Amino acid sequence: MNITIFAFIYVICAAAALLIRVFFMMMIGDRKAYRSSFTDKLLVFLIVASMIAPLAYILTPHLNFANYRVPDVMAWSGAVLIVASLLLLWRSHADLGVNFALTPGVHGEQSLVKKGVYRRVRHPMYTSLWLWAFSMPLLLHNLVAGAIFIAVFGSFYFARVPIEEDHMTERFGDEYKEYMGETGRLFPRFK
């Protein structure tokens, strides 16, 4: 078993992230979701499945062959990254409110949100997940458990964002194109 303070921080943050997601999913209720492509469904499944590796690393010796050491200062920077990720995940959901959706597309009466963290960044929820992904190798000192989410989420991100932006452009037209010109995809655009 690989129970360290850093693994403990990861588990607490993972539980908090799950609570954030469940809370905001309850806010949107049982709104009918658009159909996702097979690729999108597969990538979502792989993201959920990739959460098994950290648990296997922490609770069993089965992944010990891929363990490595990280200096404590780097591991603590992973703790800072994952907490920042959680804060941004919560803020992204809170600013979206009922406009949050699990599947790509504009659903029902959703509006273009340009307030809060969306004022400068189009996809802050994905920014939070990138921060999460890069915190994992610093907190979970195992090549499999630490890197799997980077690979899986990276594939998901690069497949889904163009689809989402196409949907937004189709629905909101020039307003979204102007918004794209004023904001960064993952980080604020500095003029």
- pLDDT block averages, 10 residues each, the chain of length 191: 89 94 79 65 82 91 94 96 97 88 70 92 96 96 93 91 90 93 90 65
189 in any annotated domain = no
DSSP state of 157: H
Check which CATH number belongs to the domain holding 117 and give it: 1.20.120.1630
Q: Which residue has the tokens 């959703």?
A: 110
Distance CA(2)–CA(148), nearest Å, equals 17
190 in any annotated domain = no
71 in any annotated domain = yes
Number of domains making up the chain: 1
Give the distance, in angstroms, between the CA of residue 11 and the centroid of all CA atoms in the same chain: 16
**Phi–psi pair at 108, nearest 5 degrees:** 55, -120
58 in any annotated domain = yes
What range does the domain containing 18 cover?
Answer: 5-182
Q: From 125, 127, 115, 132, select the one nearest 93 (Cα to Cα).
A: 125
145 in any annotated domain = yes
DSSP state of 184: B
157 in any annotated domain = yes
103 in any annotated domain = yes
Q: Say whether 67 sits in a helix, a strand or coil.
A: strand
User: Using an 8 Å Cβ cutoff, are 94 and 65 in contact?
Assistant: no
Distance CA(91)–CA(156), nearest Å, equals 21
Collect contacts of 177-184 with beta carbons under 8 A, ≥24 apart: 179/112, 179/114, 179/122, 180/122, 183/118, 183/119, 183/120, 183/121, 183/122, 184/120, 184/121, 184/122
User: Residue 98's pLDDT is what?
Assistant: 77
Q: From 7, 187, 153, 1, select the one nearest 79 (Cα to Cα).
A: 7
User: Using an 8 Å Cβ cutoff, are 112 and 152 in contact?
Assistant: no
68 in any annotated domain = yes
